[in-house]
Amino acid sequence: MKNKAFTVVELLIAAGISLIILSIVFLIYIGAEKSFKFGQATLNTEANLRLAMDWLTRDIRAAKSISPDTVTLTIPPDTVTLTIPAETGDTTVSYSFDSGKLIRSKGGSRPIAPVSVSINHPTGSTVTIVLHPPESSIPALSSMVTMRNAR
């Protein structure tokens, strides 16, 4: 009668193959997790850029003036003030920076996004906005906006 069992050598080979397969699976998992986190951070940054652009675009379209009226206004460190006509008089909306985040103040300050902003107001009622994200791997977002109530 012959005993049917694994030898020590066969067990060591099986353990080695299993260890190699588990190592490969672990490395794939770590790579996928890093890729997911990078993609998620990129999407969050792009969403912040779009939110800031939406706020700025809406306020600039409604504005009748922008102060200071310089050729190029860069935030930070400057503050831009938009005067928006309303039914009961003018409303003032200011954009500034605090702790690296763009702050929109109208009735209360709330941070919008960690971006830097360039506003170019060269002629007439057309304003060019360029938003620069904190990460250099994400491209800047720009838009040309026409003030509808410019005087």
Tens-digit pLDDT profile for residues 6-64:
889 999 999 999 999 999 999 999 999 999 999 998 888 888 888 878 877 887 777 77
Domain residue ranges of the chain, discontinuous segments joined by +: 10-146
- The DSSP element (H or E) to which 146 belongs, if any, is strand 141-146
pLDDT digits (tens, 9 = 90+) for 74-133: 555 556 666 655 555 667 777 777 666 777 776 556 666 767 777 776 566 777 777 777
**Distance in angstroms (rounded) separating the CA atoms of residues 85 and 78:** 23
Contact status, residue 147 vs residue 60, Cβ threshold 8 Å:
yes
Contact status, residue 93 vs residue 104, Cβ threshold 8 Å:
yes
